[in-house]
Structure 1
Amino acid sequence: MTKGNILITGASTGIGAACAKKFINEGYAVYGSVRKQEDADRLVEEMGNDFHPLLFDVTDEAAIKKVAAELTTELDGQGLQLLINNAGIAVTGAVELLDIDAFRKQYEVNYFGLIAVTKAFLPLLGAIENCSFESGKIINMSSIASKRTMPFMTPYAGSKAAVDSFTEGLRRELMIYGIDAVTINPGPIRTPIWEKIDVKMDLVGGTIYEPILKRFIKLVDKESKDAIEADVFANRVFKTFQSKKPKVSDVVIKNKLLKYNLLSLISARRIDEFIKKILKI
């Protein structure tokens, strides 16, 4: 008998997989979205029978609705204690050179996909009249990039800023059902997303941006080596779930005092100058 049911999108690797392991170890049943059957099989083998793979892509609204209906039948009057919207990608490049489709791809996954999943599973979180189970919670995985946007990360940062605003409005609407919704805004976490960043290097070759983007990628690589371990971050996610009144937007980053709190006291123009210097713009 498990303590309850947790749904995590993007559970195949990284933060999603680490959170799945943490919640299973704490006695919960985890329903994790994956896009490939081989990932589903691998995760069940690694995590055991308390991991239940859900095959859908967050950009496929019809598939999401189908899975939500099937899960409602399977849970048979039970609800979800938590939805973690974690699935995401990072499109990187100069705004001037990226085509609109690159921005659309970024928002389809990180923003519209998150909305589609949230809407489909709201009833299982308790967004129904005369609900027979206790209302659940929503944790939307945002990023420190939504608050501190670096050059070449504009599509990603914009999508995460949209997630922040969506979550704030959603939380205030869902108070009527007793459902809480918050964001966690991590800095670098040691996950495969660093290896899968969609850098459009072919677009910048021979342009004024090429040497700057190369220096930026080196900076990202350096930051990734000092990133928070995924299992450490998963512990933070679990504590957020446990908290009766968690922070509505929790920035999680190493050396937070120096890298975030103190920077908040510096003007945006001064930060511009610092970025200009470090990237030799």
Structure 2
Amino acid sequence: MTKGNILITGASTGIGAACAKKFIQEGYAVYGSVRKQEDADRLSEEFGENFYPLLFDVTDEVAIQKSAVDLTNKLEGNGLQLLINNAGVAVTGAVELLDLDAYRKQYEVNYFGLIAATKAFLPLLGAQENHPFKPGKIINMSSIASKRTMPFMTPYAGSKAAVDSFTEGLRRELLVYGIDAVTINPGPIKTPIWDKIDVNMDKVEGTIYEPILKRFIKLVDKESKDAIDADDFALRVFKAFQSNKPKVSDVVIKNKLVKYHLLSLVSARRIDRFIKKILKI
């Protein structure tokens, strides 16, 4: 007998997999979305009988809806205690050189995919009249990038800022059902997303941006080596779930006092000058 049911999108690696492991360890049944059958098989073997893979891509609304119907039938009148919208990608490049399709890809996954998953599983969280179970919660994975936009990360940061705004409006609408919705805004986490950053160097080769982007990538690589451990971050997510009143936008970053709170006191123009100096613009 489990304590309840948790749904995590993008559960194959990184934050999603770490959260799945943590919630299973705490006695919950975890339903995790993956895009490939081999990932479903691997995670089922690794996590055991309390992990249930759901095969869908968050950009495939038909597949999401099918999974929602299948999960509703499987839960047999029970609901979800938590939806973690975690699936995401990071598109990187100079605004001047990126095609609109790159932006569409970024938003289709990080924003529209998140909305599609949320809408599909809301009834299981309690968004229905006379719902027979306690309302669930939603945790949307945003990013520190939504509050601190670095050059070449504009598509990613923009999509996460959209997630922040969506979550705030959603939370206030869902007051009618008693469903809470918050974001967690992490800085660098030790996950494979650092290996998946979508940088097309061919686009910048020979342009004014080439040496600057190369220096930026080195900076990102350096930050990733000092990133927060994924299991430690999963514990933070679990504590947010346990809290009756979690922070509505929880920034999770190493050395938060200096890198976030004190930096908030510095003017944007001064930060511009610092970025210009460090990237040798």
Question: What TM-score, normalized by structure 1, do the two folds share?
Answer: 1.00
After superposition, where does 1:28-43 map in structure 2 within 5 Å?
Answer: 28-43=28-43
Q: What's the counterpart of residue 59 of structure 2?
A: 59
Letter in 2 for 1:8: I
Tell me by how many angstroms 1:3 deviates: 0.1
Aligned residues: 281
Give SS of 1:140's match: strand
Identity of aligned residues (%): 86
Q: Give distance in 2, aligned partners of 1:256 and 1:150.
A: 17
Counterpart residue identity of residue 73, structure 1: N
- Report the Cα offset of residue 135 of structure 1: 0.3
CA distance in 1, matches of 2:172, 2:229: 32
- How does 1:105-116 map onto structure 2 within 5 Å? 105-116=105-116
Shift of 1:150: 0.1
Deviation readout 1:152-191 (Å, 9 max, x if unpaired): 0000000000000000000000000000000000000000
- For 1:163, the equivalent position in structure 2 comes to 163
After the TM superposition, which residues 78-227 of structure 1 pair with which residues of structure 2 at under 5 Å, given as runs? 78-227=78-227
Deviation at 1:93, TM superposition (A): 0.2
Shift of 1:200: 1.5
Letter aligned with residue 198 of structure 1: D
| Amino acid in the other structure paired with 1:131 | H
Distance 1:269 1:52 in 2: 49
* Whole-Å separation in 1 of the counterparts to 2:201 and 2:6: 38
The gaps in structure 1 that reach 5 residues or longer are none
Q: Aligned equivalents of 2:147 and 2:199: distance in 1?
A: 21
Separation in 1, partners of 2:243, 2:100: 40
Q: Tell me how far 1:149 sits from its aligned partner.
A: 0.2
Residue by residue over 1:3-50, the C-alpha shift from the partner in whole angstroms, topping out at 9 and shown as x without a partner, is 000000000000000000000000000000000000000000000010
What is the CA-CA distance between 1:262 and the residue it aligns to? 0.4
Instruction: Return structure 1 stretches of 4+ with deviation > 6 angstroms.
Output: none
The SS at the match of 2:64 is helix
The 2-side partners of 1:56 and 1:118 are apart by 14
Once residues 241 and 77 of structure 2 are traced to their aligned partners in structure 1, the CA distance between those partners, rounded to angstroms, is 22
Aligned-residue RMSD, C-alpha: 0.3
- Structure 2: how far apart are the matches of 1:184 and 1:200? 28
C-alpha separation in 2, matches of 1:76 and 1:44: 22
The C-alpha deviation readout for 1:61-99, integer Å capped at 9, x for no partner, is 011001101100110100000000000000000000000
Which AA in structure 2 matches 1:90? A
Where do 1:195-274 residues align within 5 Å? 195-274=195-274
Provide the rounded CA distance (Å) in 2 between the counterparts of 1:279 and 1:141. Answer: 28
